[in-house]
Amino acid sequence: MMHSGWVTGRRVRRQLPRWSELRPLLRARPPELNPTSRRLGKALTIADLRRVAMRRTPRAVFDYTDGAAEREVSLRRARAAFRGVEFHPNVLRDVSSVDTTTTILARRSALPFAFAPTGFTRMMNHEGECAVARVAARRGIPYALSTLGTTSIERVAEAAPDARKWFQLYVWKDRAAGAELMARAVDAGYEALILTVDAPVPGVRMRDVRNGFSIPPALTIRTVADAALHPAWWVNLLTTEPLTFATFTSWEGTVAELMAELLDPTMTLDDLEWVRSNWSGPLIVKGIQTVTDAKAVIDAGADAVVLSNHGGRQLDRAPVPLRLVPDVRDAIGDRAHVIVDTGIMSGADIVAAIAAGAHSTMVGRAYLYGLMAGGERGVDRATEILESEIRRTMALLGATQINDLGPHHVKL
């Protein structure tokens, strides 16, 4: 008698399994004895690396990396925009071989993204900027050193001589100091200059204010208590070379106080001429949030624009960079390279941005989570995860090359 797919009225015969049948199922893996390799091996996504980073790093340092301005609306919206993307795959394509190489500023890049400039990187992990630059060199992608980096221009160049190195500049009140920084970057072989223009004054990052985050970290009751929870981080900080800065001698105070001291709120479009007089290589303008400004800086001589709201760390409720991409590409065509950042947490996000019209992307927090989770090996793991996700997403979309991606693949 048959009923709802079940056979009734019959007994199932059972038997003891033979060893010859069990043996192929027993695939014992040798234990991973190295704790860093063990925790990185378990991380399958950037979100996994973030969770490891949260456990491994003091709260104030993690929050400086993870947090954003005011109520953090800009960052949440940026990430939500990527989550809301609908992919439209083309099927019945031969995707047995996927090529992720592309051209970024007229040079080959093995992957369609660069490591974005981030401040105080040796605070996240003592291996810092040099570790990130070495991974960029091995992986064949550009790395950008921040004005607020914690390793000098020259030291990063020595650590990764084969990397494509970019230097990020804030326009300081002291223009002579800015000119000197550009000259040092030229002498050290940096390929391109990133001029960040969305920080005339510092944004208010509430997590930093509440944590009393300072550079270097002050020994207070809170930080001493935190040291007990994160002893490895504190040992590494206190037993490796003291923090040095990419561009200035030292600082004791909060990040907001430092930026307020350095940044020039009088900067205008006319200052691009001053930058150009000191820099003859490719010029990237970062922090563009309107079509009008994109056109203006390109007319003024920029070779590339980064559609970015500073990772949500400046103006809260700022435009979502991903949603700007189609309109900016329509307005400027191929007159300049269009890069997008903010909110990228996966290789699928990178593919979505390029399909929407960006030439390439930047990632910041994604690799910093890896750095905090496991130093240089953590950055390499983050890159490996992103590359795997890019390849898989492209194959599932029916695209075998970066240039195959287009607006027909995505609905924003």
Looking at 333-364, list the stretches that DSSP marks H as alpha helix, in order from N- to C-terminal side: 347-356
Instruction: Report the Cα 150 to chain-centroid distance in Å.
Output: 17
Task: Judge whether 310 counts as a catalytic residue.
Answer: yes
**Rounded to an integer, what distance in angstroms lies between the CA atom of residue 122 and that of residue 375?**
10
| Strand stretches in 83-208, DSSP E | 86-87, 102-104, 107-109, 113-115, 142-145, 164-169, 192-196
For the CA atoms of 217, 222, 225, 228, the dihedral, rounded to the nearest 10 degrees, stands at -30
Do 193 and 283 form a contact (C-beta atoms < 8 A)? yes
Active-site residue identified among 3, 88, 230, 310 = 310
Backbone torsions φ then ψ of 31, nearest 5 degrees: -65, 140
The two most distant CA atoms of the chain are separated, in Å, by: 92
Taking the CA atoms of 141, 142, 146 and 150 in sequence, report the sign of the dihedral they define: positive
Radius of gyration of the chain, Cα coordinates, nearest whole angstrom: 24
Residue 239: burial class (beta carbons within 10 Å; 0-12, 13-18, 19+) = exposed
**Rounded to an integer, what distance in angstroms lies between the CA atom of residue 43 and that of residue 50?**
9
**Rounded to an integer, what distance in angstroms lies between the CA atom of residue 42 and that of residue 49?**
9
Q: Using the CB atoms, write b or e for 350-385: b if 16+ within 10 Å.
A: bbbbbbbbbbbbbbbbbbbbbbbbbbbbbbbbbbeb
Backbone torsions φ then ψ of 33, nearest 5 degrees: -85, -25
**Rounded to an integer, what distance in angstroms lies between the CA atom of residue 153 and that of residue 65?**
22
| Residue 358 vs residues 295, 306, 361, 401: alpha-carbon distances, Å | 15, 10, 7, 15
Instruction: Write out the catalytic residue numbers.
Output: 310
